[in-house]
Homo-oligomer: A and B are copies of this chain.
């Protein structure tokens, strides 16, 4: 077990662990800003990210969409840089500059050649630490976000996931869309956005993570200078949202009649939280049920019957909750048939009545998780994400070898147990398509 940041003295540095040729190190700056790096000496690039521990689940109803709106506004200018100066700086070196907002965090990142890291640190830190959130910029960005909402509405394969969250969690912070609604976006004022920024973008709620051909001490120096005027006001690093009781779910059925070519379906229920020991077994179950082309759902729905182009299962994890869901897109007239197959396949692996997985599926599922994990860690962006997100939302960073060992240790009985708990629980259902008011109850 590695040392949690909360137990580390501000102003000190610790080596969390070494992996392969590189090492993961963390420095907590005075004021609580955490800087975590992973050196990858064989690459020539670096990925730099700043993570804020705020996301859509922190929003009151009246603030719905504020985290994401703010993420956009932070690109619009600082005390010393215009929006054009921000984007031109990274474009000029061919860097990727982007950001995303999730339910529990927001991340701003740049990927650049290693020699351009000082530039990336300077620009992205300035964006995050010294945003001015001018009223005219907040206003212009409101139109952009409304268009983003409309774009989501035009893509039913995207919209269905937001609708499903509402079907599972109801009108609660985890159930509401990250984008907010047209109404909430129109109602958010510049002052509210600016207050939200000052409240949540404090050093103790921020993590800087860097992976690539970098030197930890050099990165700490760059970050210290970039944040020099913004390091106060923070207390000790905030604890992850490990508040104990799981978030209650209230699964319902939402059928949205819409003039589309395909019907889009998501069926699912509560999964496991981010720190739940059962997550490795659920990962194996997910792989076998709908995680790849050899999975049961892909084989039954697509390979054998040609009913869908896209069919898969997935998991999502939050601090105190999680989701296990199945997606399929099919002809509107085939929804009942596809749903029936999905429910049958779920029943076959779930609980007391089911036969569970075969030994072969168990091994294949483990191999799939293992290979995907190792392959997924070859680029600097993935490594930066792993350490940054871990620092923000986990108690500690699990070394890759330990994750692999935990996957390897999963037994058929573990899978059977988690399948029963997750799949034999009440399920929410969302269907979007030209389906009128058809009843899709099991």
Residues of A within 8 A of B (CB): 42-45, 75-76, 83-84, 86-88, 90-97, 111-113, 116, 139-145, 147-148, 150-151, 153-157, 259-262, 287, 291-295, 298-299, 302-310, 329-331, 363-364, 367-375, 378-380
Q: How far is the CA of A260 from the CA of B259 in the complex (A)?
A: 10
**Residue on B with the closest CB to A310?**
B151
Q: How far is the CA of A66 from the CA of B175 in the complex (A)?
A: 43
Q: Which residues of B contact A90 (CB under 8 A)?
A: 293
| Interface-centre pick from A93, A295, A380 (highest chain B CB count, 10 A) | A93
Q: How far is the CA of A86 from the CA of B293 in the complex (A)?
A: 9
Q: How far is the CA of A262 from the CA of B26 in the complex (A)?
A: 45
Q: How far is the CA of A87 from the CA of B361 in the complex (A)?
A: 12
Cross-chain contact B143 with A83 (CB below 8 angstroms): no
| Interface-centre pick from A143, A147, A259, A308 (highest chain B CB count, 10 A) | A147
Cross-chain contact B305 with A140 (CB below 8 angstroms): yes
Out of B83, B95, B96, B294, which one reaches A88, CB within 8 Å? B294
Q: How far is the CA of A43 from the CA of B88 in the complex (A)?
A: 32
Q: In the complex, what's the smallest C-beta–C-beta distance from A20 to chain B, in angstroms?
A: 9
Q: How far is the CA of A147 from the CA of B141 in the complex (A)?
A: 36
Q: How far is the CA of A374 from the CA of B380 in the complex (A)?
A: 14
Cross-chain contact B368 with A261 (CB below 8 angstroms): no
Q: How far is the CA of A91 from the CA of B363 in the complex (A)?
A: 10
Q: In the complex, what's the smallest C-beta–C-beta distance from A322 to chain B, in angstroms?
A: 22
State whether A374 and B113 are in contact (beta carbons under 8 Å apart), knowing that A148-B309, A154-B262, A157-B151 are contacts in the complex: yes
Q: In the complex, what's the smallest C-beta–C-beta distance from A283 to chain B, in angstroms?
A: 12
Cross-chain contact B292 with A87 (CB below 8 angstroms): yes
Q: Which residues of B contact A94 (CB under 8 A)?
A: 367-375
Q: In the complex, what's the smallest C-beta–C-beta distance from A123 to chain B, in angstroms?
A: 12
Q: In the complex, what's the smallest C-beta–C-beta distance from A311 to chain B, in angstroms?
A: 10
Cross-chain contact B293 with A97 (CB below 8 angstroms): yes
Cross-chain contact A155 with B157 (CB below 8 angstroms): yes
Q: In the complex, what's the smallest C-beta–C-beta distance from A395 to chain B, in angstroms?
A: 26
Cross-chain contact A147 with B113 (CB below 8 angstroms): no
Cross-chain contact B368 with A329 (CB below 8 angstroms): no
